[in-house]
Amino acid sequence: MSISEGLCAHCIHNTEKPRIYLTDRESDCFQLYMQGASFREAAQELDINWRTVHTHHKSIRKKMEVQSTSRFDFFKQAFRMNLVRMCFYSG
């Protein structure tokens, strides 16, 4: 099991109020990204162009004030902003 599978595959929204608000489509893209999907995979899943997914991702990063494109930095900031919580499970 990879780190992203162990940490991200089963992340769920925290019960605390998030510090930012995402549109429905941003939320869809966010969830897929946190599960490890690429822009193209998310686009295929959502039946939209990968460039649209990229645009949503840029918007989310801007709202989260994340400059880095690193998935790890993105996850750390999402966790800090109460968008997700870590769920540990054995598989």
What is the Cα Rg of the chain in Å? 13
Phi, psi of 12 (to 5 degrees): -130, 165
Question: What is the per-residue pLDDT for 8?
Answer: 40
Question: What is the per-residue pLDDT for 17?
Answer: 57
Helix (H/G/I), strand (E/B), else coil: 9: coil
The tens digit of pLDDT for each residue in 67-83 reads 887 877 887 788 777 77
The tens digit of pLDDT for each residue in 3-50 reads 344 344 334 444 555 567 888 999 899 889 888 899 999 999 999 999
Q: Give dist(CA 49, CA 32) in Å, integer.
A: 15
Q: Which residue carries 């099991």 as its tokens?
A: 1
In the chain the domains, ranked by start, together with CATH numbers, are 3-80 (1.10.10.10)
Question: What is the per-residue pLDDT for 2?
Answer: 38
Plot region of 47 (φ>0 → left; ψ -120 to 50 → alpha; else → beta): left
Q: What is the pTM of this model?
A: 0.66
